Amino acid sequence: MRPMFDFHTHTLISDGDFIPAEMARRAEVAGYRLLGLSDHSDLSTLAGQMPVALAAARAENRSPSGLAVIPGTELTHVRPAQIGEAVRLARELGARYVVVHGETLAEPVAPGTNLAAIEAGADILAHPGLISPDEARLAAEKGVRLEISAKRGHSLANGHVARLAERFGVRLIFGSDAHTVGDLPVRDFAERICLAAGVPEAGVAEMFRLAEEFGRRLAGGD
């Protein structure tokens, strides 16, 4: 089974169905080698959530499974004016990487969230919906990765995101947005989702190469 890398998953720490250990085991069986835990958070929950995510990662990484679990977070519905503060707090509390829940077409995310996440230097802007050309250009300049999402509803703008990423040289990253059974795709299916979004075959290969590089760098902090 080809190795898989995913930095957008949710457990019982927020609204997923699995405790972290079960998420890790299911990911391992699906061929995952790098698994990011990025439970939903905001300024009120980060202080309670990050110690749990850090403990989960430490416990799993003691196992000789071949899977590295990386503690992160997904700032979700945080007001744009507070995103910079939340990104800084998440990093201070030990998050190895920070995802921001972008302006997906499927949810009432506050306008301005995409721009605030990019300006704050988040690592990943998840499902950014109809992100503007100026925002995509800024994401390229600041090294913020834009997500190609596997989640229903959140994936509606994948093609738009892929086109702007190619135009402005933005790094793309695949995210399952896994919450429950059946949400962790194997590598072949994840690549097909990216191809369906319009990412060229060579671009898909580069996406996963860079995802592995990103994850190995984060995991090296253990």
Predicted confidence at residue 63, as pLDDT, reads 84
Q: pLDDT grade, residue 221 (50/70/90)?
A: low
Q: What is the CA radius of gyration of the chain?
A: 16
Q: Is the pLDDT of residue 1 over 90?
A: no
pLDDT at 64: 85
* Domain tally, the chain: 1
Using one digit for the tens of pLDDT, what is the confidence trace for 31-43? 999 999 999 999 9
Rounded Cα–Cα distance for residues 73 and 7 (Å): 9
110's tokens: 């506050």
Q: What is the predicted pLDDT for the residue at 220?
A: 86
The structure's pTM equals 0.97
Determine how many CB atoms are found less than 10 A away from the CB of residue 137.
16
CA atoms within 13 A on the CB side of 57: 26
Summarize pLDDT for 57-102 with one digit per residue, the tens. 999 999 888 999 999 999 999 999 999 999 999 999 999 999 999 9
CATH code for the domain in which residue 99 is found? 3.20.20.140
The dihedrals phi and psi of 89, each to the nearest 5 degrees, come to -65, -45
> Dihedral sign, CA of 64, 66, 40, 170?
positive
Q: Which of 157, 168, 175, 172 has the alpha carbon at shortest distance from 203?
A: 172
Beta bridge pairs of residue 37: 71
* Residue 15, phi-psi category: left (phi > 0), alpha (psi -120 to 50), beta (remainder): alpha
pLDDT at 132 over 80: yes
Domain that holds residue 74: 4-219
